[in-house]
Amino acid sequence: MDKFDWLLASGDSVYGVSGPQVDHTLGTERGKYMLLDVSGGSAGDNAQLKSEELTYTYPRCFGFWYHMSGDNIGELRVSIRNMDTNDDTLLWKLNGPQTAGDAWKEGIVPLPEYPPAEIGQLVFEGIRGTGTHGDIAIDDTAMYTTPCDRVLPTEADPNTSSGNTGVIVGVVISFIMAITIVVVVIFIVVRRDELKV
């Protein structure tokens, strides 16, 4: 194992300095969780944690609990890998400290609509921040058969920024159309005045 990886940990892990004190499932020091140990490695290093290959039909929703506490938290990403093409689609992303103190938060990821029986693999990717106070932990991953319609927390939606771009484009187009209408109206008014003369 390299010095920077996901580890099965429990309690106040001997590996990390800013990881959880207790797991999410049991809330005890005996409960297990997965820990991205950043005591080794350097800023920007990444480590992946992959699920079993999963075959699924729709709808499906993926949930998990994360712990991202500490001044040097890097980034946590969740992607789905299409096993036929080996392409990853980014579904969820957060960077920087997310949980104050020793708190776990829930992440929700609607899964994209691949054809039925397509084989996929969920991939957690941790990216190391600039220091050792940046341990990221994951617990209680679950696949729900009930649909979910949006990413939670909403700021973890990788498409949020493109959504804003869409709004900006819409505003700009509306503005251009408004100017065009004003120019056309002025033109018509001017022409009418010319005709009167």
User: Which residues form the interface with Ca ion (CB under 5 A)?
Assistant: 23, 25, 31-33, 139
Q: Is 140 exposed, middle or buried (0-12, 13-18, 19+ CB in 10 A)?
A: middle
22 or 127: CB nearest Ca ion: 22
Minimum Å gap between C-beta 49 and Ca ion is 14
DSSP state of 164: H
For residue 128, give the 3-state DSSP assignment.
coil
Return the number of the residue (139 or 157) whose C-beta is nearest Ca ion. Answer: 139
Residue 10 or 82: the one with the smaller Cβ distance to Ca ion is 10
Smallest gap from residue 109 Cβ to Ca ion (A): 19
Residue nearest to Ca ion (CB): 25
Q: Which is nearer to Ca ion, 6 or 33 (CB)?
A: 33
Query: Minimum Å distance from CB 139 to Ca ion?
Result: 4
Q: Of the two residues 25 and 165, which places its CB atom closer to Ca ion in the complex?
A: 25
Enumerate residues 6+ apart whose C-beta is below 8 A from 128. 4, 36, 38, 41, 42, 43, 44, 45, 46, 47, 74, 134
CB of 16 to Ca ion, least distance (A): 16
* Residue among 97, 88, 90, 109 nearest 137 (CA): 97
Least CB distance to Ca ion at residue 65 (A): 8
Q: What is the DSSP letter of 69?
A: -
